[in-house]
Amino acid sequence: MGGSQASRARVARRIATAAAYGGGGLGLLGVGLAGLLLTESRLAVRAIGLLEGDPPRADGVYGEAFADPADRRAPLVLAFLGDSTAAGLGVQRAQETPGALLAAGLASVAERRVRLVNVARSGARSSDLARQVEAVLPARPEVAVVMIGANDVTRHAPAARSVRELGEAVGRLVSAGCRVVVGTCPDLGTIKPVRPPLRWVARRVSRQLAAAQTIAVVEAGGRTVSLGSLLGPEFAARPELFAADRYHPSAQGYATAAMALLPSLCAVLELWPQDVPAAGAAAEPQAVLPMAMAAAAAAGRSGTEVSAAGPENGTWRWATLKQRFRLALPGSEEAGAAVPAEGPEPRAGASANSHPEADDAGATKR
C-alpha cells in the first residue's frame, strides 16, 4: 500500500472508531491552517457563484416501456437521499436528474416499473439524513441511494459526527429492509475555482472523509461507490460536464455518474449477473482487503464499489473492492453497451497497490 493510502487508512479508521464510540470533535485539519483556509474558501465561493432555483422534481414511476404487461407487482421503490447532487441541482429537466436516470436504468435491467421517491435537498449535510430517512420510510423503499459529504467538508462539520450520522441513517434503512448504496464524498480538490493551498487540503480532507464513510456504511450493512475524481481527466477537458457554476455537474455529468452507480444498484438487488463470464469475456476485477485499506484504496480510485467480505468477532473486518463494468443508460448513445471502469483495474487477490492514486482531475460535485 502506498504511503498516502496507508495514511488515509489510519485516519479513516480513527474517524470511524470515534464515530462508533460517540466522538464528535475529531477534526481533519491542523488549527494553524484555519485562518488561511477560511480566506481561501470565501474567495472560492465568490469565484464559483450560486445556481438559482431548485432542482426539478423527478418523483414518479419509471419504466412502463420495460415492464412486462402481465406483471401485476407494485413498482419497485427507489429512494434518493442526500444533498444537491442527489437532488440534481444544475439541470433543467426532471429526466436529467440522477434519481430519474437511475430509476430508468434500474427499470430497464429489472424489466419492472420503478417508483422514485427523492427527499434529497440542496445544502444538506449528514446531520440532515435522520430527517430524510423519516420522510422516506413511509414509502417502504426496497433500495436507497445516498449521496452526501461535500457540505460536511465545506461547512467544517466534525468528521466523526458526520460519519456516525451517515452510519446511523444507513443502519435505519437496512433495519427497515431497504438495501443501500452510498456515493461517498467527492474529491473537492478538483474544483477549478479552488486554488492551492485550499485545493490540496480539500482533496486530502474529502478523501479521508470518503474512506471513513465507507467503513461506517459497510459496517452498517450497505455498500459504497467512490465518486472521488470520477471521470478523471474527462471533466477537466470537457467543460460541458459542469453546470453554469463550474461546480455542480451538468446533465451529461450526472449521466456519467449515474452510469457508475447503476451496476452497484443492480448488484445490491441481485440483478447483476454473478455467473462465470463467457469464454473470452473479461471478469469484473476485484480484490479482498482489510476494511480500512479497502476504504482508503477506494477513496483514491473513482467508481470503486466496496462491500462487506466477512465478519470477524462480530465486526466487519474485510471488504471486497470491485470495479464493475458500467452500463449505458436507456436513451443514451451507448445504450446496451458495457462501459469499462476508467483506468487500470485491480486484479483478483491484488493488494491495495492495484489502486493507484487518482490524478488531479475533475470530479462530480456536491
CA 198, CA 169: separation in Å to the nearest integer?
30
Tell me whether the omega of the peptide bond preceding residue 197 falls within 30 degrees of 0, making it cis.
Answer: yes
User: Using alpha carbons only, what angle is made at residue 176 by residues 172 and 177, rounded to the nearest 5 degrees?
Assistant: 120
pTM value?
0.79
Neighbour-count burial of 287, counting CB atoms closer than 10 A to its CB (0-12 exposed, 13-18 middle, 19+ buried): buried
Q: Which domains does the chain have, with CATH numbers?
A: 3-354 (3.40.50.1110)
Length of the chain (residues):
366
pLDDT digits (tens, 9 = 90+) for 5-56: 777 777 777 776 766 655 544 444 443 444 445 445 554 445 444 555 678 9
What does residue 15 show for φ and ψ, rounded to 5 degrees?
-65, -45
Q: Which three cell numbers stand for residue 285?
A: 476485477
pLDDT digits (tens, 9 = 90+) for 71-115: 889 999 999 999 988 998 878 899 999 999 999 999 999 999 999
CA 31, CA 38: separation in Å to the nearest integer?
11
Please report where in the chains the cell 480532507 appears, as a residue. 205
| Contact (Cβ atoms closer than 8 angstroms) between residue 188 and residue 194 | yes
DSSP string, 265-295: HHHHTT-S--SPPPTTPPPPPEEEEEHHHHH
Half-sphere exposure of 150 (CA within 13 A, CB side): 27
Mean pLDDT, rounded, of the chain: 75
Given the residues 59, 127, 245, 360, the one annotated as active site: 245
Given the residues 152, 206, 248, 250, the one annotated as active site: 248
- Give catalytic status of residue 248 as yes or no: yes
Give residue 136's identity as a one-letter amino acid code: V
Given the residues 84, 126, 332, 354, the one annotated as active site: 84
- Give catalytic status of residue 84 as yes or no: yes
